[in-house]
Amino acid sequence: MTPSDSVGARSRQIAFLGTGLMGAPMARRLLKAGFAVTVWNRDPSKAETLSKDGAAVSASAADAVRGADIVFTMLSDGQAVTDVLFEQGVADLLKPGAIVVDTSSIAPPVAREHADTLRQRQVHHIDAPVSGGVVGAEGGTLAIMAGGDAAIVGSLADVFAALGRVTHVGPSGAGQICKLANQQIVAITIGAIAEAMILVEAGGASREKFREAIRGGFAESRILDLHGGRMVNRSFAPGGPSRLQLKDLDAVAAMADLFCLDLPLTAMIRDEFRDFVADGGGDTDHSGLLLHLEKINKPLGEENR
């Protein structure tokens, strides 16, 4: 069963479950594109703020999906997605032919399990995690990695266009494995930039001028632009909380074990994020790993001065 081509693009009803740092601006983009959107969040106040943008607000996740053609989830982890879909009654209320688009970052085996369970209910499932952070969500420039049926992904072209650029990367679970690979690159690059910042300052150079000097060279990246700027300005409000970066690195480690892979750079940066989160940095932006590296590089005795 596939979505009817006769259904007008903007007449499809969308439910958006999870309107936190990423979900709220994504839902807002869909509303601005002219879609009818019903929203729900565990903390009702985070959903209520979208009412002024034209969203209908539901008191429960189950109520939000009644009659929905497309259901987005943007939740913290696989357990939260499983709970909302199957424990809070959402799956029971989805009509045949509805499409669940899970933009959360969860383990690939969990995404495949969700897809299999929903398929038995004649409901389509796309795992479509995103990259680009809050800035990308607000600007509609997210990179969307979609796993699942290519035809279903194609049927959502106008919906995804409001959020960013979508790429179909393979079958169910493929979106999540690509997101984990993305998170490897993000974490390792954040660590590399943070270490470089410490090195140049120790050598007497300006961190700000260092970043300025290498812009446009081989070290240029979106991470140098945004997260390097955060490090220079020491602005570490999330963004992407370090506890979620660690969650993704833990998932990478699990996949590496499953595939019998040795990923030494990922293992090292995972250890650094684990220590940073354990030391109280869990809700600090992941660019705040700089703070952890600064702490372990303090000259001996400095803390006692």
List per-residue pLDDT tens for the chain, 305 residues long.
444 443 445 689 999 999 999 999 999 999 999 999 999 999 999 999 999 999 999 999 999 999 999 999 999 899 999 999 999 999 999 999 999 999 999 999 999 999 999 999 999 999 999 999 899 999 999 999 999 999 999 999 999 999 999 999 999 999 999 999 999 999 999 999 999 999 999 999 999 999 999 999 999 999 999 999 999 999 999 888 999 999 999 999 999 999 999 999 999 999 999 999 999 999 999 999 999 999 999 875 454 43
Q: Which CATH architecture has domain 11-171?
A: 3-Layer(aba) Sandwich (3.40)
The residues that are catalytic are 179
Backbone torsions φ then ψ of 233, nearest 5 degrees: -85, -5
Amino acid in the structure at residue 201:
E
Q: At what angle do helices 207-214 and 222-233 cross, to 10 degrees?
A: 170
Domain boundaries, the chain: 11-171, 177-295
Please give the radius of gyration of the chain, using alpha carbons only, rounded to the nearest integer.
Answer: 21
Who's near 191: CB < 8 A, 6+ residues apart?
268, 269, 272, 289, 293
What CATH number should be reported for the domain whose range is 177-295? Answer: 1.10.1040.10
At residue 6, the pLDDT reads 34
Q: How far is CA 7 from the centre of its chain?
A: 29
Backbone torsions φ then ψ of 246, nearest 5 degrees: -65, -40
Alpha-carbon distance of 146 to 139, in angstroms, equals: 19
At residue 11, the pLDDT reads 81
Please check whether residue 237 is in contact with residue 286, taking contact to mean a CB–CB distance below 8 angstroms: no
pTM of the model: 0.87
- Residue 130's DSSP bridge partners are 144
Helices and strands (H and E) in the chain: how many: 15, 9
Q: Which of 232, 222, 250, 249 is nearest to 288 (CA)?
A: 232
At residue 300, the pLDDT reads 52
Token pair for residue 127? 């795992």
At residue 10, the pLDDT reads 65
Who's near 256: CB < 8 A, 6+ residues apart?
262, 263, 266
Who's near 152: CB < 8 A, 6+ residues apart?
2, 3, 99, 124, 126
Q: Where are the strands (E) in 86-138, listed by range?
A: 99-102, 124-127, 130-131
Q: Tell me how far CA of residue 127 lies from CA of 55, 74, 152, 300, in angstroms.
A: 24, 11, 11, 48
Q: Is 169 helix (H, G, I), strand (E, B) or coil?
A: strand
Q: Does 239 sit behind a cis peptide bond, omega within 30 degrees of 0 on the bond before it?
A: yes
Please check whether residue 13 is in contact with residue 70, taking contact to mean a CB–CB distance below 8 angstroms: yes
Q: Which helix (H) or strand (E) holds 26?
A: helix 23-32
Q: Tell me how far CA of residue 192 lies from CA of 187, 211, 212, 287, in angstroms.
A: 9, 13, 16, 11
